Structure 1
């Protein structure tokens, strides 16, 4: 009985000495910004050192893992994609595509409000990527559909205009602008953006939007 009690006491002391390691953090953007345990931090240091040795520097390594993040994103393997974007972030926090990737992955999950801050961070680092403005406009558009709050429609349009200013031949963004203006009573802007889109690619305009423009 004394031996059993002694073993229980030893176990209690040893268990208290073990550091808790949070699980699943690699499935959250920036690892959820959750404090990691020593084992995880040591693993991160090893990964960074090995990546630097293999690619020459951390920025090159980060670009590689971003490319893998997109590869899995388009394969709809979202958990692996998130892991790769997190590895890229671990290597270079200044890479704007990482935050764009985080935002798109959250958008896929329908977490549009959460996606906004990552798109904004990407734009803060690189304000010349038209596709990020398209992505953030989609999130604002989805929030508008859900809330019917006009300010989100205004933000959708604002960001699409920034996208087409950077890429004047971006038919997809012009088509989205046309769709956004279909919610207004005044149809002049709707017709304007349909006309611009048709010049680039008439297949991009939804027939329902054309019908609204005729009313």
Structure 2
């Protein structure tokens, strides 16, 4: 444990971690995907070199180091510390620009902040590196559904369906793909189909069910299977 803490401290010290910024200035690029995709100053490039050199001394390979910082990023993201998580994801990307999980994480955070159009680019880069990953495919499809909710266009839903078909083909046990396909059916006003896919997802992973969406679907059509009943406040299993 002491060795692990030393590794983290040494690498982050070399990276000169700081989130301080004036409220009137632009967001700190350290907490934006790919460091905001802006050209770095000579001083910033020097910091990057020190960070990479420190990691080279602490890890066997940069791929190992990149995966290490990805794990720390997921931990912070699960704790709700988005900025700290994003900085770790950026460090993982700096160590290995071909780390598909880093691009995936950029997409997840970006769509969560309400920018699905930008997030699609990160997801597609991740997909180029991890083409058969079912969860990634379903996340990209969900991103398209989110984009549709902002700007309803049929072709957007068609893209979602294409990725969902690939996701299910890669892993027929991916409940999230079925839940997202249910939403696609809902937006296409195929409420029976929406219920069919919702139940497929529910049978695989009840925890992944969006209960707000369940209520919306119930308002359009009561559950044909009778598994859920609706009342004034919620839809619940019989």
Task: Give the TM-score taking structure 2 as reference length.
Answer: 0.73
Alignment partner of 1:176 is 2:180? yes
Whose radius of gyration is greater, 1 or 2?
A: 1
**Superposition pairs for residues 113-152 of structure 1, below 5 Å?**
113-152=117-156
Alignment partner of 1:193 is 2:197? yes
**Superposition pairs for residues 94-109 of structure 1, below 5 Å?**
94-109=98-113
Deviation at 1:151, TM superposition (A): 1.2
8 Å CA contact retained: 2:141, 2:180: no
In structure 1, distance between residues paired with 2:47 and 2:202: 53
**Structure 2 unaligned blocks of 5 or more:** 1-25, 225-238
Distance 1:177 1:44, change over 3 A: same
**Alignment RMSD (CA, Å):** 2.4
Distance 1:29 1:181, change over 3 A: same
Partner of 1:164: 168
What are the superposed Cα offsets for residues 40-79 of structure 1, whole Å, 9 maximum, x if unpaired? 1111111101101101111100000111111111111111
Distance 1:25 1:208, change over 3 A: closer
Distance 1:194 1:44, change over 3 A: closer
Deviation at 1:201, TM superposition (A): 4.7
Deviation at 1:197, TM superposition (A): 3.3
Task: Give the TM-score taking structure 1 as reference length.
Answer: 0.80
Distance 1:194 1:77, change over 3 A: closer
**Structure 1 unaligned blocks of 5 or more:** 1-21
What are the superposed Cα offsets for residues 161-215 of structure 1, whole Å, 9 maximum, x if unpaired? 2222212111232122122112224556435424533543567482543564569
